Amino acid sequence: MEQEILKSSEVLLSGGTILYPTDTLPGLGCDANNVESVQKIIDIKGRYSDKGFIILLDDDRKLYSYMKEVPDMAWDLIEHSTEPITIIFPNGKNVAPKVLAEDGSIAIRITKDPFCKGLIRKFGRAIVSTSANISGGIPAQSIDKIDPTIQNTVDHIVNLPSAQSGKPQPSKIIKLELDGEIRFIRN
C-alpha cells in the first residue's frame, strides 16, 4: 500500500488524475486545489461544471481549512456515523472554484479507508472524490468494471483492492446549514 500511496501522491502533486478505491465506490480523484486537475475530471466524466464535487479529508480537524464555520451538528454526525457520510457545508473555501457548488457550498467526507487516509496524509491536502463513471452513467462497483475510456484517460490507476466488503454503496449525503437546518440529499 505504501508504494501506491507514494505513486498516487506524486501524480496528484504533478496535477494528474487517479482512479482509486475509496470507502464507498471506486473514485476519480485529483488535487482539490488545482484548477486544471479539476477541469480534467470534469472532462473525463463529461460533466457539467456547476455541480461541485465531494472532497475527502483524513481528519475532521481539517474541516476549518475548507469552510468558514462548522455547524455544531457536524461533529455529532461525523462521530456517530457508522457508514460513510458526506456533509455539504455552506461557504466552502481553499479549493478550486469548480469544486464548490453554485451556491458556494462544499461537500466533504472524512474517510476511514486506510489507503485514502494514507494518501491524504502524504499528499497534505484534500482530494476530489467522484464516482468513476461518465456523467449520467451507472457508477462501477469495482475498478476493473470501469469504462475503458476512463481507465485510459486517468494518469494513474491505483492497484489495490477495495477495503469495502460486500456491494459498495455511495455515501449518504446530508446538507447542513449554519442555523441547524438539515436536509437529506441521498440516503
Domain extents in the chain = 2-161+169-186
Helix, strand, coil in percent for the chain, rounding step 5: 30, 20, 45
Average pLDDT, rounded, for the chain: 91
Half-sphere exposure at residue 28, Cβ-oriented, CA atoms within 13 angstroms = 31
Tens digit of each residue's pLDDT (9 = 90 or more) over 74-121: 998 999 998 999 999 999 999 999 999 999 999 999 999 999 999 999
**CATH number for the domain whose boundaries are 2-161+169-186:** 3.90.870.10
Residues sharing a CB contact under 8 Å with residue 61, sequence separation 6 or more, in sequence order: none
Tens digit of each residue's pLDDT (9 = 90 or more) over 46-81: 987 778 999 999 999 999 999 888 888 899 899 999
The answer to whether the pTM exceeds 0.75 is yes
For 55, the grid coordinates are 472532497
